[in-house]
Amino acid sequence: MSLPRLLRPACRRFASTSARPEPLKPTKTRRLLYPATFVIGSAAGILFFNYSPPAKQSLNPETFTAYTLTSHVPITTSPSQTSILTLLPPGNSPPPPFVPSKLQSIEIKNPYVQIARHYTPLPSKDDKIRLLIKREPDGEMSRYLFTLKPGATIELRGPHTEYELHPAAHASKLLFLAGGTGIAPALQCAQKLLDSSENASMRILWAVRHRSETEGAVSEELEKLKRAYGGRLQVGIFSDEEGGIGQGMVKDAVLSWGARRVLISGPDGFIGYWAGPKGDWVMGKESQGEVRGVLGPLHQQKGIDVWKL
């Protein structure tokens, strides 16, 4: 999952580098003009710095669009809080421009601390956007989202491509390792991949700290997808209390089942354990880094594709 990034400022302050000539002794007329010029210039400056272009009425990657929070459904309350937020676009706006062949995220803006964070929407067949949110103890964004009530406005920007399901993937087997709320991109991936080809199949291994995290709406989402795609979608759920995902399960999925692609989504420690840490930030994006961890030898020996979300 991507880290918050500072929003770009809407404008830069004016700066003058030209030399200023020694002023003449002001006449009475000049004395009257200077205060007026100051007032007009100050007003223009205030107007300039507080002006922002009008928001577009449809979701787009460049500007933020105001969506309305229609429901906030708690999933778990202990040991951590998770909820599903449902957002409705402005009236008469076209459907969100999501692409069937890409895993995509959207940005949410926190207007109080001027940061934005990426979230991966859950599968949806209509124009609503549904997000699985976990309240992080030190997370400014999640704290903000958990204070909002139905009817509140949330500003979104996107969609942004996180991974492309290339045509070759449509007829292959894909393994998805999900940690915690990393299940959200796994669900989106399942819908898009399995809708794209009847020859595609997918296996999800979902790691959670406690079994209670798998209850409610998320479990219903999984069951709905399993009914829709039958044996082409396999799901395994593993809690820390039960030992988590075993290395043997992942190796078996690659060596015996024949997974050619492995996607990992979850906390940094989860991603690092399975595939090594992500790399440096380059041009505003976090690079993939080397494939290490448990998947490192499999990547080298079998040539599987590994992608860290």
Please report, for residues 50, 186, 278, 286, 293, the alpha-carbon distance to residue 275 in angstroms, rounded to integers and kept in the order given.
Answer: 45, 17, 9, 15, 5
Q: Which residues contact 137 (CB under 8 A, 6 or more apart)?
A: none
Residue with tokens 């929407």: 121
134 is known to lie in a ligand binding site: yes
The reply to whether 292 sits in an annotated binding site is: no
Residue 249 assigned as binding residue: no
DSSP one-letter string for 171-222: GSEEEEEEEGGGHHHHHHHHHHHHHH-TT-EEEEEEEESSGGGG-THHHHHH
119 is in an annotated binding site: yes
Residue 232 annotated as lining a ligand binding site: no
Q: Is 142 annotated as a binding residue?
A: yes
Closest CA to 208 of 168, 169, 167, 237: 237
> Which amino acid, 36?
A
Residues 116, 120, 122: CA angle, nearest 5 degrees? 140
Residues marked as binding?
117, 119, 132, 134, 141-142
Residues marked as binding for FAD?
117, 119, 132, 134, 141-142
